[in-house]
Structure 1
Amino acid sequence: MNLSYWETEYLIHKIDYLIIGMGITGLQTAINLKEKNKKASVIVIDRFPWSHGASTRNAGFACFANVSEILDDLKHDSSENVYSLISKRYTGLKKLRSKFGDDNLGYEEKGSEEIFSTTNREEMTNAIDSIQGINTILYDEIGLDHVFQFASRSTFPNTLGTIRNKFEGQLNTGKMYQSISRYAQLLGVKFFGGIEVESWEKVNNTVNVATNRNITLKAQNLVLCTNAFTSQILEEDIVPARGQVIVTEKLETLPCEGLHLFNKGYYYWRDIDNRILLGGARNMDKAEETSFKLEPNYIIIDELKRFMNEEIFGNEVSIDFEWSGIMGLGKENQKTPIVKMVEPNVYLAARLGGMGVALSALVAEEITALVD
């Protein structure tokens, strides 16, 4: 395809920063670069019309830690790394809220509850025994007192007790994405969807990026904010982790408000617009969920429906929405983001470990500092 004079000279001419990935990390990186370099040409491209990985398909959890996940992570990583990542999540959420505003994000600090039932009684015992020590460390790390508190009562059927974190919240994923996109557009950042990167090469001080449209984009700097999809274009310790989500019909009364987690966070649910959103159960079929395909997995969908009916409501409810999103994890479940220079003028910010909402603002800030 031959480009017109207008396209060549005015749409894609002299790109200072070309960002791959129109998710919330890519958009916030574009915002940061544009704010630091107001005259710079900043362009964001994506294979989809808008982000289709996790940024518009997540559950809207503005969370940073739960006890069972911490204990599980400590089996696979050092204490320093585990608590450092929690601190980064908490800091990232504060930056996100400060930048865009709670109203624009649809943010509500309703807290979270980790649920324990007869099926994970031992897990509850271990968690209770660990609360005091974890709270002490978190006070030193993020300055919050008594982050976790145990309660023996719950409105859910089959529940033995809960551990509450009053400092966590939830947001409206649609509002968040719209707000970040609008902010970037007002700064003059350009977006082009439907463009997929096939390869790039350095020619002198320019990065020539070949695309599926038979268009070569030329940029001074290339920034990859492709999260799970990074492994399709770079050899990195990143694998896709697909997550299934269902949402009920609108209901007059709901069994709960706020964030809820079960089985080390593999099941997670919340209220939204007089509905209950439930996601997870990826542990039921991890091999199949290591996929780039945005498709339903009916083994998991059926399990989520069972859990919704039996464990949350105690009766059958209708489901209005089903979808999947793609997260980026390490091959051994590593969750620490990768933020680095791949080669001169080429940078990477990826592997947000299913915590993109919490980490995106901080990761965008870190990659901007590297690029600049």
Structure 2
Amino acid sequence: MFSYWEQQSFTNYHYVVVGGGLVGLSTALSLRELHPQASILILERGVIPSGASTRNAGFACFGSLTELLSDIATLGEEGVKQLVADRWQGLQMLRERIGDNLLGYQCHGGYELLFTENLESLEALERVNDILHPVFNQQVFSTRSELIDQFGFNQERVIGLVENPLEGQLHAGKMMRSLINLATAQGIDYLTGATVKNFEITPDGVCLNVSSVDPEPIRFKAPRVAVCTNAFTHPLLPKLDIQPGRGIVLITKPMPNLKFKGVFHYKQGYYYFRNVGSRVLFGGGRDLDMKGEETTDFGINDQILEHLQYELSHLILPDQDFEIDSIWSGIMAFGKDKTPLVGLHSPEVGYAVRLGGMGVALGSLVGDRLARLICLNDENG
């Protein structure tokens, strides 16, 4: 049982944020900006943030040419323009909040590799540039196929290259460390190893039942709760349209003569790689086993890993020696389309989830929107 002191000082807050990743931290920081005196708690189930925030590839991107063409088929041109605008705004909010130095942010540009089967997408390049021009006031995509040889890719397979000078890269660990430091410096409590099992809406507020190392559940209470658990949302809000999607990532040991810098994509964003200093980080392959990768279990799909290693050896680094340093997986969240879900489950409980593999780009913006939605509802309630 809790002591009187614990009940008085540790379990009651004005706002509780469930999920301590990028979206949860962004929500809490925006709540702090809106309510400087409020008590705010973040509950994170992992010892360190678990999900995708510290396990992603560190891309500061907003969609490759073929990926956006695919999205136009489901969202339409206006929908894609708005989604890209949101991603771009979210990236700028993140950079302004933390600063490029603490993010480890670098802008070496982005590129998409094209093959015989999708070279026809170049015919739509100007159309996509026209769609995006109101967002950026400049041309986003251009062909740079002359760089294929310079970058050392397999020229028998890669026959086209599209450049996007606006894409960058960052250090996901530094990003999260900086956000946590900023939150704690602003008086936001951040508890790890705290899994929210369920919640109850009562006349006195929302009661959250949390499991931890203690033998009995701990109950936290707040008038307003923000759920920011992305792929792990189903136990709390089972009616939302969310499917987990596991992504596998590997990184090589340093390579003294690496020929490229920047972020790279191919096959509608299902494959992505970048330099990390003189290392190559490479991930993706979910398209090989979409159903099997709809899981919240961290693990490695051997079929996908084998394919990634083959692609690294035969497509990205042909005739070059390299060693794999480490392999990991992260869990993303998807739905019927790429738009994130931000809304109210009830007057007391809001959510910002389903980032569609674009959490780095969208996290700051959707967190801010959720904070404002909760506060507006708080004022109206």
Task: State the TM-score, normalized to the length of structure 1.
Answer: 0.95
In 1, Cα distance between equivalents of 2:208 and 2:163: 48
- The CA RMSD over aligned residues, in Å, is 1.2
Q: Does 1:313 align with 2:317?
A: yes
Q: Residues 1-150 of structure 1 correspond to what in structure 2 (within 5 A)? A: 2-12=1-11, 14-117=12-115, 121-125=116-120, 127-140=121-134, 142-150=135-143
Q: Per-residue CA shift, 1:5-29, capped at 9, x if unaligned?
A: 43222222x3100000000110011
> 2:284 aligns to what?
280
Contact 2:31 2:372 in 1 (8 A): no
Contact 2:197 2:235 in 1 (8 A): no
> Which residue identity lines up with residue 305 of structure 1 in the other structure?
Q
- Residue 47 of structure 1 deviates from its aligned partner by 1.5
> Which residue identity lines up with residue 157 of structure 1 in the other structure?
N
Q: Does 1:329 align with 2:322?
A: no
Contact 1:255 1:313 in 2 (8 A): no
Tell me whether 229-238 or 182-191 shows the greater mean CA deviation. 229-238
Contact 2:334 2:354 in 1 (8 A): yes
Could you list the runs of 5+ residues in structure 2 that have no partner in the other structure?
Answer: 376-381
In 1, Cα distance between equivalents of 2:256 and 2:166: 27
> Which residue identity lines up with residue 88 of structure 1 in the other structure?
D
Q: Per-residue CA shift, 1:33-69, capped at 9, x if unaligned?
A: 1222122110000211121100000000000121101
> Which residue identity lines up with residue 296 of structure 2 in the other structure?
F
Q: Residues 332-347 of structure 1 correspond to what in structure 2 (within 5 A)? A: 332=336, 334-347=337-350
- Residue 237 of structure 1 deviates from its aligned partner by 0.2
Tell me whether 208-217 or 107-116 shows the greater mean CA deviation. 208-217
> 1:264 aligns to what?
268
- Residue 343 of structure 1 deviates from its aligned partner by 0.2
> 1:157 aligns to what?
154
Q: Does 1:171 align with 2:187?
A: no
* Percent identity (aligned): 36
In 1, Cα distance between equivalents of 2:85 and 2:194: 35
Number of matched residues? 363
Could you list the runs of 5+ residues in structure 1 that have no partner in the other structure?
Answer: none
Q: Does 1:297 align with 2:298?
A: no
Q: Per-residue CA shift, 1:322-372, capped at 9, x if unaligned?
A: 000000100x3x110111011011001000110000001110110011011
Task: State the TM-score, normalized to the length of structure 2.
Answer: 0.93
Q: Residues 181-200 of structure 1 correspond to what in structure 2 (within 5 A)? A: 181-200=180-199
Q: Does 1:348 align with 2:351?
A: yes
> Which residue identity lines up with residue 288 of structure 2 in the other structure?
M
- Residue 75 of structure 1 deviates from its aligned partner by 2.0
In 1, Cα distance between equivalents of 2:244 and 2:171: 24
- 1:216 maps to which of 216, 219, 232: 219
Q: Per-residue CA shift, 1:87-138, capped at 9, x if unaligned?
A: 1001111111111111110111111110013xxx24112x211111111121
